[in-house]
Structure 1
Amino acid sequence: MIMQITQYTNEVIKELNRAASLISEETAQSLVDRIMKAEKIFVAGAGRSGLMMRAFAMRMMHMGLQVYVVGESVTPGLAEADLLIIGSGSGETKSLLSMASKAKSLGAGVAIATVNPESSIGLLADIVIQIPALSKDTSDGGLTSIQPMGSLFEQSLLLLFDSIILQMMDKLNLDSSAMFGKHANLE
């Protein structure tokens, strides 16, 4: 039987509530602390996860942080005082694994938000935030979702990072009006 759109929406919200309640506060807090200490912050992700990482970068830019999306032509080199944050459900995406390895070899910090903390990138990272959801290629572990592929992970990624932004806004005593001054104005 086909559900109504609002029924689907309510089911998605239930899934997001469940996933959010299982994210480690301590690990998320360690990411907040590390971001605030970083000289420059770099974000990376592939596909829809990459879009969530771009959204996170945009909000950090609105806060006045020095943040870059890996792969953009204006992204500078990464250095020891910097932090690379990766969003990857599987934690196995080859291009992201290569970035994480390079960042570690340069002495920079590496953080990942992932379904799989024991992934190749998870094992390299200094901070691993496990998001209890399915990635696009995961079908085991007893987790279920009405949503296709990695949707629950990607939505959880956005909510986690928006919540991190809210906490950093509190710590830096920023509000939306202060951040709006850094919003794009050539649109």
Structure 2
Amino acid sequence: MEKVKVITQKILQELNNSLEQVDNDELEKFVSLVLQANKIFLAGTGRSGLAIQAFSNRLMHLGFDVSMIGSITTTSAHKGDLLIIGSGSGETQSLVLMGQKAKENGVKVALNTINPDSTLGKLADTKFVLPGASPKVENKKLVGDSMQPMGSSYEQLSLLIYDAVIISLMETTGETASTMFQRHANLE
């Protein structure tokens, strides 16, 4: 049985190898759309949903007007807003419906996915593709090898990319950890 630290090192190497395949131009287009948005809505399900919730939290700390779809306080979306969807398969039916509704309302859609040719991939105004192993992606040419179960490598790389986007946005907006902390929850 391998020690946990050795397994962790292998996971980090796997993520580093996956990062080499990510298109930086796609990420820069994504950052640009975030900066242009009046309001940002975010959606994802399962563990991808947890990663995008963490991203939503940091966007709020940066001062962006954000809502996680499904929250009772989510407002209506309008032209000039942005919907960010995290979906490895790009085929999760509830997310596809959200993307379609967003487009009907003039809202731009940004997608983080393994599968750029998915229904959501075709719908998105911009997308960035992250390698990952997922049993939900039917095109096996898109699915990488992973020692990890199911979509873990995609979800982990998503979280890391989201955090890197936050740092890029901090540099662009002039925000610092101190200014962001002023927006941190204080009723806990």
Q: TM-score when scaled to structure 1?
A: 0.97
Task: Kindly report which structure 2 residues correspond to 1:156-171, keeping only aligned pairs within 5 A, or say none.
Answer: 156-171=157-172
Q: Secondary structure at the match of 1:112?
A: strand
2:153 partner amino acid: L
Q: Secondary structure at the match of 1:42?
A: strand
The answer on whether the counterparts of 2:31 and 2:169 sit within 8 Å (CA) in structure 1 is: yes
In structure 1, list runs of 5 or more residues that go unmatched. Answer: none
Alpha-carbon distance in structure 2 between the residues aligned to 1:60 and 1:176: 12
Residue in structure 1 matched with residue 150 of structure 2 by the alignment: 149
1:85 aligns with 2:84: yes
Alpha-carbon distance in structure 1 between the residues aligned to 2:137 and 2:34: 29
Of 49-58 and 16-25, more deviation after overlay is shown by: 16-25
Identity %: 41
Q: Secondary structure at the match of 2:112?
A: strand
1:128 aligns with 2:127: yes
What do residues 5-43 of structure 1 show as CA deviations (whole Å, max 9, x unaligned)?
Answer: 011100100111011121111010011111011000000
2:52 partner amino acid: M
The answer on whether the counterparts of 2:115 and 2:137 sit within 8 Å (CA) in structure 1 is: no
In structure 2, list runs of 5 or more residues that go unmatched. Answer: none
Q: Tell me by how many angstroms 1:135 deviates.
A: 2.3
Count of residues in Structure 1 that have an aligned counterpart in Structure 2: 186
Residue in structure 1 matched with residue 75 of structure 2 by the alignment: 76
2:187 partner amino acid: L
2:148 partner amino acid: Q
Alpha-carbon distance in structure 1 between the residues aligned to 2:165 and 2:135: 24
Alpha-carbon distance in structure 2 between the residues aligned to 1:106 and 1:143: 35
Q: Tell me by how many angstroms 1:136 deviates.
A: 4.0
Alpha-carbon distance in structure 1 between the residues aligned to 2:117 and 2:172: 31
1:156 partner amino acid: L
Q: Cα RMSD between the aligned structures?
A: 1.1
Structure 1 residues 175, 62: closer, same or farther in 2, change over 3 A? same
